[in-house]
Structure 1
Amino acid sequence: MAVELRPYRVCVPDEDLVLLRDRLERTRWPEPAPVPGWAQGVPLETVRELCRHWATGYDWRAAEARLNAVPQYLVTIDGLTVHVLHARSASPGAFPLVITHGWPGSVLELAGLVAPLTARGFDVVLPSLPGYGFSGKPTEPGWGVERIADAWARLMVDGLGYRRYGAAGSDWGTSVSSVLAARDPEHVAGVHLVPPLAGPALSDLGEPTVREREALERMRERGQSSSAYSEVHRTAPQTLGYSLVDSPAGLCAWIAEKMISWSDGGLTRDQILDQVALYWLTGTGASSARLYAESIAKVAGWIDGAADDPVRVPVGGSIFAAELPRPSRRWAARRYPDIRYWAEHDRGGHFPALEAPDLLVEDLVAFFSGIR
């Protein structure tokens, strides 16, 4: 059954931007932490400076224009509206590629990939996850990574008419792309993951290498120092949502903490505020967090070695310098037995489309050129 695509353009009302500035100017700030640095979270001066720039210097209309430079559509799949950017290449025989973002990212994070990828012979499809950006907010449970993957399959085949395509993604996009490949190998030619989500099964892999031990130690440190956000998203997204949807400064602190600490230090204020502003203007602080409640148990199984649903299609993987987790290739091969491409980079972090787009584009081209 065909899926109807309805043309769409982003146009945030001026009054929403005026109200945002007013709320920022009336922020009630907490006192600074009694300890220096980031030991108790993102520092007060960091958030105040970001919010000052958000109110007085940041230009949402420039971000809006970048979105509107790409053809956009709304499509209803399984009862939910999905927002999607779809750019066709002028190259004959272009290869379709659906790229999925995560949290706290968005299609705005990935929009800069459109021009270089279409120039290299790819049709680029960028859907917004349910509950994120301009997609609809689920009103019933069940919109986890499996249902999203099924929706993407319908979008690509029944909506856009592609019979064979590639999938790629980072963060939640890694999980969605993996499930998509496992459930629809008839149409998915291969997946590129940043990085593949896979952990060790030491009982059958023997002694870890030096780099594997380093990766495990960094994951333990991350679990002790900065994983609480994930548990809050998983267990109480509604409770958290009241603050994220009502306070722009609170939303800025929640998102900026991760964008700064998960990157290699190269993100600009405007790159951070692009994501924060999109979540604020669409009111998706609560709805985006609910994806953790729907999916986190499944993803944890992939990481700790209890995974099912092996991915049999060809797989490429990229690991950027500041990224966590940092799986080894042999860990990844347990769930992804047909790894065709593997790259480890000395720069970039969790947001390579913003931090190192040149490296990410070259990895995507190199991997998919081998299977298209």
Structure 2
Amino acid sequence: MPRPTSDVHAFDTHVPDADLEDLRRRLAAARLPEPETVHRAEPGPGRWSQGVPLADLIDLVTYWRDDYDWRPFEQRLNRIGQYRTTIDDLGIHFLHRRSPRTDATPLLLTHGWPGSIAEFVDVIDDLADPAAPDAPAFHVVVPSLPGFGFSDKPDTTGWGTEKISAAWVQLMTRLGYDRFTAHGGDWGGNITTVLAGRFPEHVLGIHTTFAEAPPGLTTDGLTATERAWTEETHDFWHHRAAYAKQQATRPQTIGYSLVDSPVGLLAWILDKFAEWSDTSDSPFETMSRDRILDDVTLYWLTRTGASAARIYYESHNSLDPELRVDVPSAITIYPRDIEKYPRPWAQQRYRHIVRWRSPESGGHFPSLEVPEYFVQDLREGLSAVLAAQR
């Protein structure tokens, strides 16, 4: 079994009690605005049409201040196995769970924004050590993107998705995994696509929930469902993407609020968990309050609200329109995700699609919303990918 090189060091997390007490004090002293002017008492998405409703935020802030406990999540990270290494002068943090199975395949999982490694903590064990002996097993590596979590914050420009993809190849090679599979959604999907397109000699195949097509394709010949997908994606980018424009153009400006105000940070992130999940009224219909607060608290304690936002400044609209992926690819499009590209479009970029799925439920955060389905789908998708290599 491969061993980490001397450039990889074990890393344990233990946030000082003083930092947690400071968070509680700030939450207790928060100044809140008046309620939204959308007067809809009944549950439904209309309650969120101006953003996070005041009543929902007050409830979650109260829970965060009085009942939420960071320590179990911190201990969970330490049990999985945390490490750091330096690539291109930047410290990179990652989780690494080796499978006990001798037939396990290396798997790189890459998160996006406003997610983090918290997206995958509930599925890592099932992927590494499945209960069924005939299920595929994986050596799971989950890095924190530069500027996210316990990775270092870049102090120069240049850390966009192309450079991150190259860094991930160095990371996996350093761990002894010269060839590996990869999965990602959101920015993780973008990075996974670049990995597969730029480094096919290292990537056995990919699974992604983000299959961005090249620009300029026609809707001629698409089914009604596929046309609806293109319309929803168009609507998203033209009417619901102000957060992306802000972070792509002025990440420093919004960053002051995200680093100084825990309530501001919570609202900024909660808005996306609500809007992008497959729910009718609240993200907590499918995701636990604790797991969302684990994600938000990780941003808060590491002061990465601004540095994480800069991935938009570095990479927004940067996916090379000429990039093509020829390694085996498995693609899953969840119905409530924010970008949905029809297969005829996707296969213009991903030219060896071995499995395509469109489940009936799930949104942008499937590992949190539908974790059992996510694990099974990922296993089946990567099994198809590996079979295509034989």
- Scaled by the length of structure 2, the TM-score of the pair is 0.90
Map 1:210-221; keep pairs closer than 5 Å.
210-221=224-235
Shift of residue 48, structure 1, vs aligned partner: 1.3
CA distance in 1 between partners of 2:61 and 2:337 (Å): 26
Task: State how 1:5-84 maps to structure 2 within 5 Å.
Answer: 5-36=8-39, 37-84=47-94
Aligned residue among 271, 277, 292 for 2:297: 277
Question: In structure 1, what is the Cα distance between the partners aligned to 2:163 and 2:258?
Answer: 25
Alpha-carbon deviations, 1:89-136, whole Å to 9, x = none?
A: 111121000000000111111111211101141100000000000000
- More displaced, 78-87 or 224-233? 224-233
Find the aligned partners of 1:199 and 1:253 in 2 and give their Cα distance: 33
Confirm whether residue 148 of structure 1 aligns to residue 164 of structure 2.
Answer: yes
Contact 2:8 2:83 in 1 (8 A): yes
Runs of at least 5 residues in structure 2 that lack an aligned partner in the other structure: 40-46, 131-136, 280-285
1:86 aligned to which of 78, 96, 111: 96
CA distance in structure 1 between the partners assigned to 2:304 and 2:112 by the alignment: 13
- What is the alpha-carbon distance in structure 1 between the residues aligned to residue 230 and residue 322 of structure 2? 22
- 8 Å Cα contact 1:202/1:208 also seen in 2: no
Percent identical pairs in the alignment equals 46
SS at match of 2:316: helix
The equivalent residue for 1:308 is 322
- Aligned to 1:362, the other structure's residue is in SS state helix
Aligned position for 1:123: 139
Partner of 1:247: 261
Within the candidate set 321, 344, 350, 2:358 is matched to 344
For 1:171, the equivalent position in structure 2 comes to 186
How many angstroms apart in 2 are the aligned matches of 1:221 and 1:32?
Answer: 27
**Correspondence for 2:371:** 357
CA positional deviation for 1:35 = 2.5
What is the alpha-carbon distance in structure 2 between the residues aligned to residue 71 and residue 273 of structure 1? Answer: 21
Aligned counterparts of 1:119 and 1:198: Cα–Cα separation in 2: 34
Question: Following the alignment from structure 1 to structure 2, what is the Cα–Cα distance between the partners of residues 79 and 196?
Answer: 31
**Secondary structure of 1:167 counterpart:** strand
- Shift of residue 56, structure 1, vs aligned partner: 0.6
Report what 2:154 is aligned to.
138
Q: Does the 8 Å contact 1:3/1:76 carry over to 2?
A: no
Other-structure match for 1:304: none
1:223: which partner in 2? 237
Residues 169 and 192, structure 1, Cα contact 8 Å, conserved in 2 = yes
d(CA) in 2 for partners of 1:295, 1:232:
13
* Residues 1:293 and 2:293 are matched in the alignment: no
Asked whether the 8 Å contact 2:248–2:312 carries over to 1, the reply is yes
More helix by share: 1
SS in 2 for 1:179: helix
- Displacement of 1:321 in angstroms is 2.5
Q: Gaps (5+ residues) in structure 1?
A: 302-306
TM-fit CA distance, 1:39: 2.3
| CA distance in 2 between partners of 1:5 and 1:202 (Å) | 44
What is the distance in 2 between the residues matched to 1:210 and 1:311? Answer: 27
Identify which range, 236-245 or 345-354, moves more after superposition: 345-354
Cα distance between partner residues in 2 of 1:13 and 1:237: 28
- Report the CA distance between 1:199 and its aligned residue: 6.0
The answer to whether the 8 A contact 1:199-1:327 is kept is no
Aligned twin of 1:233? 247
Instruction: Map 1:317-332 to 2 at 5 A.
Output: 317-332=331-346
Deviates more, 1:41-50 or 1:214-223: 214-223
